[in-house]
Structure formats: structure tokens, C-alpha cells
Amino acid sequence: MEFVVPQDHPALPGHFPGRPVVPGVVVLERVMEAIEAAHGPLGALRLPQVKFVQPLLPGERADIAIEAVAGDTPRWKFRVVRGDTAIASGEVVVA
């Protein structure tokens, strides 16, 4: 799933003045939307591992890749990239 956070997103003012950066929680919100678009509403979730390695700037395109992990509890690994550059990765588990 591809997404762009617009320059006027309400989470951007103050994060950071003069050089806005998309907050990690907004990136994770897009990850959850991608999982729910593929698998339906999930309810409560845990994020046992999340790593942010590069900032995402407003207006930049990013792509989310989701991979289901086999097991008793629904679980997905995700990766968010901008072109060939990793922005974030981690794991989402149904609580």
C-alpha cells in the first residue's frame, strides 16, 4: 500500500518547527490501515517490535509491505520504504 502524508496533516505543526517530520504514530496508523484493509478489523493490537531508521517528510511517497507470520495468534511483519530506503519496520500482533 502506498501513501503520502500531506503538508497540512494536523499532526505536523510543532513536529518540528521549520522542518516538519511525519510522527512515527502517523506512519504506524498507515500500517494498521494496510493490515485491516487486507484482513478486516482486528481489535486490540500489540507492537512488540518497531524500529524507525529514517524520517519521513510530508509529501514524500512511502510504501508498506505486510507479511503474515504463521502461528496461533495473528501476526504480521511490516516494512515501510521510500524508494529503496527503509523508513520503519516491525511486528504487529493481535492482543
pLDDT score of 59: 96
Band of pLDDT at residue 67, cut at 50, 70 and 90? very high
pLDDT score of 77: 98
Is a pLDDT exceeding 90 seen at residue 14? no
Question: What pTM was computed for the model?
Answer: 0.93
Q: Kind and range of the H or E element at 81?
A: strand 75-82
- Between CA 16 and CA 22, with CA 19 as vertex, the angle to 5 degrees is 65
pLDDT score of 18: 84
pLDDT digits (tens, 9 = 90+) for 29-55: 999 999 999 999 988 999 999 999 999
